[in-house]
Structure 1
Amino acid sequence: MGDVWAAGDAYEDYVGRWSRRVAVPFLRWLDVPAGKRWVDVGCGTGALTSAVLAWKDPAQVIGVDTSEGFLARARAQVSDTRASFRTGDARSLPLPDRRFDAVVSGLALNFVPEPHLAVAEFGRVAAKGGTVAAYVWDYGEGMAMMRYFWDAATALDPAAAELDEDRRFPLCRPEPLHQLWADTGLDEIAVEPIEVATVFADFDDYWRPFLGGQGPAPGYATSLDKEHRHALRDLLSTRLPTAPDGSIALTARAWAVRGVAGRPA
């Protein structure tokens, strides 16, 4: 079962809304001044691009993604003339060498089959002294909405463990991220956790996005027959920490990594 990333509205409902909360502290951490040229690789529905426009006053932002469905949503949501969107692969960016002051990627790098090629491309298009940075979810311990889902899924179906992002994406930890940036030849590398609240209005607000089919966990949920899907739903409803008003307060942690492209002599 492959990962599906195509429907912008379903993705937005699932994790796009939480990605937007991570984007702002991520950009503050980068400390890139106003008036710079940015690339958002794996831009999806435009969450990080929108944050760059709102918080960094850039001269230009180019969003690149393989999904036409996501790009359509991004173009519909982002009307700023400084932003544009292109279809492209992170491993072969349709962009010139040494042109951009900041090359960033939010929640996408672990889904690239050869992430080292993607980071090499980030470095290629970054100007000397430019910032190269990304963030990914901490699937092992920090992304509670997914951790609850996979723990319940594997309790009912041990084979589901093979689809768990924590097992599939060992990159999403501080040490592998630091090593990937170092192997690419980037300088001044730093890795930092970013944690945000993910509060669901009620159980339906938590469960419904898993029925949209966008990403590994929703893909698994929608592959189940009705009986097994209802069993998973019912188990989750007993395990999630639900407040008296029905709300479910969880947290999401991402790991952010940054580096500097080779500085001029």
Structure 2
Amino acid sequence: MTSSFNVHDAAGYEQLMGRWSQKLAPLFIDFAGIADGEKVLDVGCGTGSLTFALSRAAELSEIDAIDYSPVFVEEAARRNTDPHIKIGQADACALPFEDGAFDRAFALLVLHFVPEADKAIAEMRRVVRPGGVVAAAVWDHFGGMPGMRMMVDTVAALSEGGRQLRNRYFFQPMMQPGEMKRAFVAQHLVDVVETQLMIRMNYGNFDDYWAPIAAGEGPLGKFVCSLEGSDRVRVDTAVRSASEAGQRDGPRSFANIAWACRGVAP
């Protein structure tokens, strides 16, 4: 497996996305369901937003959390104080667990960064017992993330490289309406339901929004850090102008929508 998410460092990820994953996690758990005594797998745990929310949500017998990135695994392990949580590095497309080992397998904000997302869903289904639940959520980059779209549309207006970024960013795996549901059904999951979950991303000012991207975090940060000289200055200036929208710099709040899907293993 490869991942299209550019990991720079854990602190930068937290500012870029981790803080918003923490807000989304309880909504996702409510949708996916959880019960005391269950054994749950968190696929693509990142720095632990869902992992630790699961620990707070129920008295689970065990939480296994895996991620492809050693940076994330190290940070999640550093934060962990729950003996029921096991954290390790693994491939979402080749999970190191036996068939039917878990009551539930979850993936929060992961599948759109897995090029072989269908294979990851198949693996999640494999490791869940009959009657267990597979659930996932991904951001709606095209229609549900105005804060990030502000930046992507701005750079697309400036260069061919920006337009190529937009084409990649908006149409990553599992992001289109009904796409995850079709993928779940194709893996023979039953009682499949897809819905939308919404949070707000609240920024103190432009630097709060821009700093992790400017430092190279994620796919947008990777693009920005590939620019040099006047091209970089032009992008920085244009995105700041888009954020300010003719007003003074200050707090900004953006609604953000994730597609969420769950299904039952037959």
TM-score class normalised by the smaller sequence: over 0.9
TM-score (norm 2): 0.93
What is residue 135 of structure 2 aligned with on the other side? 133
What is residue 178 of structure 1 aligned with on the other side? 181
What is residue 126 of structure 2 aligned with on the other side? 124
Aligned pairs for 1:8-87 (under 5 A) are 8-87=10-89
Letter in 2 for 1:115: A
Separation of aligned partners in 2, 1:97 and 1:179: 23
Q: How many correspondences in the alignment?
A: 261
Letter in 1 for 2:192: I
Separation of aligned partners in 1, 2:249 and 2:165: 33
What is residue 261 of structure 1 aligned with on the other side? 265
Say whether the 8 Å CA contact 2:111–2:173 is kept in structure 1. no
Deviation at 1:214, TM superposition (A): 2.4
Residue in structure 2 matching 1:142, options 135, 144, 155: 144
Say whether the 8 Å CA contact 1:6–1:68 is kept in structure 2. no
Letter in 2 for 1:200: Y
- SS class of match (2:237): helix
- SS class of match (2:157): helix
Letter in 2 for 1:138: D
- SS class of match (2:216): coil
What is residue 256 of structure 2 aligned with on the other side? 252
Letter in 2 for 1:235: A
Separation of aligned partners in 2, 1:3 and 1:58: 30
Residue in structure 2 matching 1:192, options 185, 188, 195: 195
Backbone CA RMSD of aligned residues = 1.6
CA spacing shift, 1:30–1:171, aligned 2, 3 Å: closer
Separation of aligned partners in 2, 1:171 and 1:118: 12
- SS class of match (2:178): helix
Separation of aligned partners in 2, 1:108 and 1:185: 21
Say whether the 8 Å CA contact 1:9–1:73 is kept in structure 2. no
Say whether the 8 Å CA contact 2:39–2:60 is kept in structure 1. yes
Letter in 2 for 1:188: D
Structure 1 runs (4+) deviating above 3 angstroms are: 165-168, 241-245
Say whether the 8 Å CA contact 1:42–1:108 is kept in structure 2. yes
Separation of aligned partners in 1, 2:36 and 2:244: 42
Deviation at 1:201, TM superposition (A): 0.2
- SS class of match (1:174): coil
TM-score (norm 1): 0.93
Separation of aligned partners in 1, 2:173 and 2:119: 17
Say whether the 8 Å CA contact 1:162–1:168 is kept in structure 2. no
Separation of aligned partners in 1, 2:215 and 2:124: 31
Aligned pairs for 1:102-251 (under 5 A) are 102-164=104-166, 165-240=168-243, 246-251=250-255
Gaps of 5+ in 1: none
Separation of aligned partners in 1, 2:71 and 2:91: 15
Deviation at 1:5, TM superposition (A): 2.4
Aligned sequence identity (%) = 31
Gaps of 5+ in 2: none
